[in-house]
Amino acid sequence: MSKYRILKREYPNGRIEYEVQKKILGLFWWNFENVDAYVTGIYSTLGEAEMAIKMHKEKSKVTIINQ
């Protein structure tokens, strides 16, 4: 079973949106990128949505630099 999914929304005016979601607690789907007005987790292309999931799965490297 998949932990991530992409919803495709098609509007009557021809606009298409892709929303990324993650499964939590085995029951609910959550838009994990919806944190503020600038990052909503909704993308205009499928490739952008797939990249968002890929970036979320990978661990980032954090380095502290004291100046």
Interval 6-42: pLDDT, tens:
999 999 999 999 999 888 888 888 887 777 777 788 8
Q: Report, as an integer, the average pLDDT of 59-65.
A: 87
Integer Cα distance of 58 and 14 in angstroms: 33
| Closest to 2 in 3D by CA, of 22, 19, 25 | 22
Instruction: Determine the length of the chain.
Output: 67
**How much is the pLDDT for 55?**
86
Are the beta carbons of 15 and 45 closer than 8 angstroms?
A: no
Q: Which residue has the higher pLDDT, 34 or 4?
A: 4
Q: Helix or strand or coil: residue 36?
A: coil
Integer Cα distance of 32 and 66 in angstroms: 31
